Structure 1
């Protein structure tokens, strides 16, 4: 009994010590809070649309508030103010006014997917709180800006006295995800073993439902929410229930530079381009299968067709995924018609876009689809998945003219490819011209205007 009593007092003392240390850190952070905007973006080398938003957001704040320091919380230890400034212009063509400050994070493993083989969402979400604790303990800003979707960090940032701003690319959980689990559909976020089991599927629905409630609570702690599309806006407003603090700001796309590329076929080969990070949700395998079907149906005397994959790899898992795609091309016997480009410089991406007749995009429920807009601006006809951002915001008729194709499975993608190949040049030019006009609605200039209008009230009153 005495041992139990001693153990109780030891645990109590440790708990009280932890709580006191927690309170002291928050008090110290509040006291030393700097007038700065700190961007919580642990992966500053992902090369995707989220990173483009980060650099454009930094540039916009530098232009709008020159006296307000911009700080980047990053887990990439080789990043420095100078290398990040160079990366912004080399990879995305975004020229910052001056280098941002950098705060290095050393606990990024706690938000990595590989750390949580099961209960990945809740694991990464709680891990992000731990990583954010490291960030805020090292540097406490007046404005905490999340550009990576880690909503569980918002209550902690508020405890440190920060104004919380976020740019949300997609909800961590959505009713669509819950619906797929309920229907027992196997996808990248629903293991086949779970999909085959009624009992496991019901347990996962309960887990998702509880997580949705938690996600709604933490998200509601944001002072300002910017979302990137109509689809994301509808889900976030439903989950976070703060529509008065939620603004739709389309992500920045380099439409101006890409629109200078010629539309004429003489400057384009029969190349199809696919721009996306090598991640499971991007469904690259579907594109390979569709391209194989299309190749089997083209005339023997048709020009040689190429499918060019352009994307970035964040880690070993992405590298392995890329290798599996190369192996899949061999299995489909189309390896001579497929090319892979990893971690390409922006200028090289523009060159490939300028030589493509069309662009493929196959992610289900893509929240927006910057690459789809880039296709359209460059004059490459988009063939995108018939859902979410591409369906609701992007691949819409412009002045009564079709701007691209929407598809849902390999056969539909293949049919769109074949239809485009058989299209008269005049009709293709008309579609490309209409698509280019549509793409101008998502320009960087439009982003800067809408972004500054959204943040001005919260920055000016603080």
Structure 2
């Protein structure tokens, strides 16, 4: 009896296993058929559909579609966007420009008015805005896990919405959504240009996971356990391979700094069509401003930060640096210190972030020494930079740093994070010096780390254009050092910084941009 039951059970198990194998084989065959047969058919039908839509569109001339879902954000990326629009309008006045945006709460007139107010740029009215309703799919808050992959796949979904709304002849992405390139190139038959501010994945991110260091794109649990770190490294490497494949679909690639160029070349592997074009900065207007003396600036020592209120900008580091500064300075000098945090808010999350920073300032008992100015007009921004003594920038691995350049042009002595684009030719690790040496009349240039791939800040003896730091103590010590400088020394740094920023002008950006994208327009016109 037992033997018969055992035989029956074995036969049933064998039948179940055979059924499972057959089901798996059927699924595999269906997937192969989908990939080899159905997908090419759908792809061909999509191409015909989009080609027909292009023929039927009202605008018959050349149409340039610019993909920038946050065009009303008011940051450095948006300055690039509007300078690109202005350059195209100047060179190709008959080209119709379409901007894909997810700013549903702002109409065309409001966006153009804000552009003129924030960037001091007046554009021609031949701009059409196509509103995207699925922008949430590219927002990091939508994905609690696998955020990079989620945002990238979400950008494809958003790209489909853009493509179905309006088909351009030339597609230019100014935010770095590389996963949309195959969609516009192969399905819609567009020529594709890319301006990348920041690679989605970089070798720096992988290196920090190797070191098991906690950064803003990692968490403590992954850094703590080796197995989780190994798994995330594998995920990043696979994602980097996919990201590189997508990026290579662009016909012309533009990057904003040496740092970004190095990472894009290592991942996308197409250096021959990659061009480094520094982003446009308002240096012409700012360098014309008179440099005010300490007496003309008033009683306060104003430290100015210009950065959007986003997590990566690391405003809490500024507040912690100010807390450390208080322990260094004498009380009568500390009372003169004022940190002015200037930036724009995109949404309710950014506004909540400002409230959290205000609460942190109160917690550190510094509310009288910190002031937040949100979404202020451009003239007020210029006035604040002109009245300030020191500029502060704390983002780790900042890809370039438009605000750093503009602060230098306005006459601020910049202190930026010692990473990414702002790295200098040689910089000093301040922990090697006591506070007495830091405040010496002559700055000690003995122990330095060399990096000859700098873009913005240089720090060599006889050619100091700014300073760099890594943590709150270094920031505090450098601020204290600058405050105790002789006015003539501060003036020399300001003059050297101003003379170094001409290579970042808006005019030079327009010239280089138009030269780079000219093949796209020539091919389309032919």
Q: What is the TM-score with the length of structure 2 in the denominator?
A: 0.83
Q: Using the alignment, how far apart are the partners of 2:157 and 2:39 within structure 1?
A: 14
Would you identify which runs of 4 or more consecutive aligned residues in structure 1 move more than 6 Å? 11-22
1:50 aligns with 2:85: no
Supply the RMSD in Å over aligned alpha carbons.
Answer: 2.2
Mapping 1:152-301, distance limit 5 Å: 152-159=179-186, 160-263=188-291, 264-268=293-297, 269-301=300-332
1:67–1:113 distance in 2 versus 1, CA, 3 Å: same
**2:430 maps to what in 1?**
none
Q: What SS does structure 2 have at the residue aligned with 1:335?
A: coil
Q: Deviations over 1:180-205 (max 9, x none)?
A: 11211111100112111111111100
Q: Deviations over 1:388-428 (max 9, x none)?
A: 11112001259942111111111110111001100111111
1:309 aligns with 2:341: yes
Q: What SS does structure 2 have at the residue aligned with 1:371?
A: helix
Q: Deviations over 1:116-138 (max 9, x none)?
A: 01000000000000000010111
User: How many angstroms does 1:23 deviate by?
Assistant: 4.7
1:429–1:189 distance in 2 versus 1, CA, 3 Å: same
**2:356 maps to what in 1?**
324
Q: Using the alignment, how far apart are the partners of 1:115 and 1:206 within structure 2?
A: 23
Question: Structure 1: which 5+ residue stretches go unaligned?
Answer: none
Kept in 1, the 8 Å contact 2:457–2:467? The answer is yes
Q: Using the alignment, how far apart are the partners of 1:398 and 1:66 within structure 2?
A: 45
Q: What SS does structure 2 have at the residue aligned with 1:239?
A: helix
Q: What SS does structure 2 have at the residue aligned with 1:419?
A: helix
1:28 aligns with 2:60: no
User: How many angstroms does 1:455 deviate by?
Assistant: 1.1
Q: Deviations over 1:414-459 (max 9, x none)?
A: 1110011001111111110111111222111111111111111221
Q: Using the alignment, how far apart are the partners of 2:69 and 2:494 within structure 1?
A: 37
Q: Deviations over 1:34-76 (max 9, x none)?
A: 6211110011222210000000000001111111111100111
Alignment match of 2:400 (pick from 368, 373, 394): 368
Q: What SS does structure 2 have at the residue aligned with 1:244?
A: helix
Alignment match of 2:384 (pick from 333, 345, 352): 352
Kept in 1, the 8 Å contact 2:192–2:252? The answer is yes
1:138 aligns with 2:165: yes
Moved more, 314-323 or 337-346: 314-323
Q: What is the TM-score with the length of structure 1 in the denominator?
A: 0.94
Q: Using the alignment, how far apart are the partners of 1:241 and 1:274 within structure 2?
A: 36
Q: Deviations over 1:215-247 (max 9, x none)?
A: 000000000011000000011111111111110
1:399–1:436 distance in 2 versus 1, CA, 3 Å: farther
Q: Using the alignment, how far apart are the partners of 2:360 and 2:251 within structure 1?
A: 46
Q: Using the alignment, how far apart are the partners of 1:49 and 1:336 within structure 2?
A: 29
Moved more, 43-52 or 312-321: 312-321
1:157–1:380 distance in 2 versus 1, CA, 3 Å: same
1:207–1:307 distance in 2 versus 1, CA, 3 Å: same
Moved more, 19-28 or 211-220: 19-28
Q: Using the alignment, how far apart are the partners of 2:490 and 2:268 within structure 1?
A: 43
1:435 aligns with 2:435: no
Q: Using the alignment, how far apart are the partners of 1:236 and 1:29 within structure 2?
A: 30
**2:13 maps to what in 1?**
none
User: How many angstroms does 1:22 deviate by?
Assistant: 6.2
**1:114 maps to what in 2?**
141
Q: What SS does structure 2 have at the residue aligned with 1:301?
A: helix
Q: Using the alignment, how far apart are the partners of 2:339 and 2:117 within structure 1?
A: 24
Q: Using the alignment, how far apart are the partners of 1:71 and 1:237 within structure 2?
A: 29
Q: Deviations over 1:271-327 (max 9, x none)?
A: 001111111111111111111111222123326110011111222322222222111
User: How many angstroms does 1:140 deviate by?
Assistant: 0.7
**1:405 maps to what in 2?**
467
Q: Deviations over 1:314-345 (max 9, x none)?
A: 22322222222111111111111000111222
